[in-house]
Structure 1
């Protein structure tokens, strides 16, 4: 997914998006090259930092 597509998906969320691994807020204005995006089977959008992947999925 490109950074532009990630920004568009982030803008659709009404509340702040936080990384589940470290708890930091992910902004659409910041650099998204180190941010990963996953859509689950239930349709939930999950954004997390690449470095936090081991904390999110074990």
Structure 2
């Protein structure tokens, strides 16, 4: 997905978009090359930082290490 398409999808949200990995806000002014976008089969848009990928999808493995 291009950076322009990410910005367009980001602008469709009425409220602030938060990264589920770190909880920081994702804004249009952020570097979009560091932002990933996933659209689920239930049409949910998920934006997250590239470095937060493991925090989101490997949560069970991370919890077992604690």
**TM-score when scaled to structure 1?**
0.97
Indicate yes or no: 2:6 matched with 1:9: no
Higher helix share: 2
**Unaligned runs of at least 5 residues, structure 2:** 59-66
Equivalent position of 1:56 in the other structure: 56
**TM-score when scaled to structure 2?**
0.85
Aligned equivalents of 2:55 and 2:30: distance in 1?
22
After TM superposition, where is structure 1 displaced by more than 6 Å over at least 4 residues in a row? none
Larger of the two Rg values belongs to structure: 2
**Unaligned runs of at least 5 residues, structure 1:** none
Higher relative contact order (CA 8 A, sep 6+): 1
Aligned length: 58
CA RMSD in angstroms comes to 0.5
Cα-to-partner distance string for 1:13-54 (whole Å, 9 max, x where unaligned): 000000000000000122110000000010000000000000
